[in-house]
Amino acid sequence: MMDRYAVFGNPIAHSKSPQIHRRFASENGQELTYDAVLVPEDGFAVAVDDFFTRGGKGLNITVPFKQQAWAAAQWRSPAAELAGAVNTLYRDAQGRLCGDNTDGIGMVRDIVQNHGGRVRDARVLLLGAGGAVRGVVQPLLEQQPQQLVIANRTPGKATELAGLFAELGPVQGCGFADLAGQSFDLIINGTAASLQGEVPPLPAGVLAADGWCYDMMYSAQVTAFGRWAQQQGAAKVLDGLGMLVEQAAESFHIWRGVKPGTRSLVDSLRDSLTD
């Protein structure tokens, strides 16, 4: 019987994870199955236990279960521990349920390796303070930016989040209005507002000359944040499709010990979005 993997979420029909992981398996000679599973919102723990009891090898976790996955894990990687969220589950040789978070490394890899962007010594602005943002703070700080500012509509949430990572580098939290007079080399949107056509109320001049903008969301058309970035004259405007593939590649590596290639898959997914 082939090794079984899956992604758990609610909703889940939109997930591209099966397509991504099946492609990874095919290109790397790995025999496995990978399915998208709709899990009842009150049935996550039971579903996880049943999956592994029946011999499942690994799970990806998406909305709204990443915090529940964190709580369920008996061992967590440092990245997952600080993020308070888990998107990758597996059992180790001792039978422990282990949790990791590959979102942040996926985003950094997309920016730095795929697009030649710069985080080291850069002034970085991270918009939002929710679960998506929590998962990327540590990997960003590991790149040693000059500063990392987390801005949120509720300033206290951004300040609290920054405090959790303060020992790892120069990070601070604030409200959007507090950004007046500052400029950043890289602005990352970690809010979901962009997909609803909204953009946080950012002051004029917040994007430095030759600055880059990165939306963690993606869609067939340019997101609202992407359009804002174009209007500000951003040197590069990127969305989160590459992040999606890169975080999946890191999960695949954790499970299988194989590092899959990603570039051609990102290109084919991009084409499928506009079909």
Radius of gyration of the chain (CA): 19
Q: Which residue has the tokens 């011999």?
A: 55
Residue 228 has pLDDT above 70, yes or no: yes
Taking the CB of residue 208, how many other CB atoms lie within 10 A of it? 19
Which residues contribute to the annotated binding site? 15-17, 62, 87, 103, 128-132, 152-157, 216, 218, 240, 247
Rounded mean pLDDT of 158-182? Answer: 96
Residue 103 has pLDDT above 90, yes or no: yes
User: In this predicted structure, what is the pLDDT of residue 274?
Assistant: 64
User: In this predicted structure, what is the pLDDT of residue 142?
Assistant: 96
User: In this predicted structure, what is the pLDDT of residue 132?
Assistant: 84
User: In this predicted structure, what is the pLDDT of residue 24?
Assistant: 97
Taking the CB of residue 74, how many other CB atoms lie within 10 A of it? 12
Residue 195 has pLDDT above 90, yes or no: no
DSSP 11: S
Known active-site residue 66: yes
Return the SS3 of 147: strand
Residue 239 has pLDDT above 70, yes or no: yes
Angle at 120 between CA 114 and CA 122, to 5 degrees: 105
Q: How confident is the model at residue 220 (pLDDT cuts 50, 70, 90)?
A: confident
Angle at 133 between CA 183 and CA 74, to 5 degrees: 150
Tell me the angle at which helices 17-27 and 263-273 cross, rounded to the nearest 10 degrees: 140
Rounded mean pLDDT of 201-215? Answer: 96
Rounded mean pLDDT of 91-104? Answer: 96
Q: What is the pTM of this model?
A: 0.94
- What are the sequence ranges of the domains in the chain? 3-100+242-272, 104-238
Q: Give me the torsion for CA of 147, 107, 60, 35, rounded to 10°.
A: 160
Alpha carbon separation from 131 to 86, 161, 173, 250 (Å, rounded): 10, 10, 15, 19
Which residues contribute to the annotated binding site for shikimate? 15-17, 62, 87, 103, 218, 247
Tell me the angle at which helices 17-27 and 241-256 cross, rounded to the nearest 10 degrees: 50
Tell me the pLDDT tens digit for each residue of 20-47: 999 999 999 999 999 999 999 999 999 9
Biggest alpha carbon distance in the chain?
A: 61
Which residues contribute to the annotated binding site for NADP(+)? 128-132, 152-157, 216, 240
Q: Same CATH topology for 3-100+242-272 and 104-238?
A: yes
User: In this predicted structure, what is the pLDDT of residue 131?
Assistant: 79
Homologous superfamily of domain range 3-100+242-272: Leucine Dehydrogenase, chain A, domain 1 (3.40.50.10860)
Out of 57, 66, 236, 259, pick the active-site residue. 66
Rounded CA-CA distance 7/151 in Å is 31
We find that the CATH architecture of domain 104-238 is 3-Layer(aba) Sandwich (3.40)
Residue 275 has pLDDT above 60, yes or no: no
Residue 194 has pLDDT above 90, yes or no: no
Tell me the pLDDT tens digit for each residue of 106-164: 999 999 999 999 999 999 999 999 878 989 999 999 999 999 999 999 999 999 999 99
Rounded CA-CA distance 39/68 in Å is 12
Tokens in use for 260?
């899959």
Q: How confident is the model at residue 272 (pLDDT cuts 50, 70, 90)?
A: confident
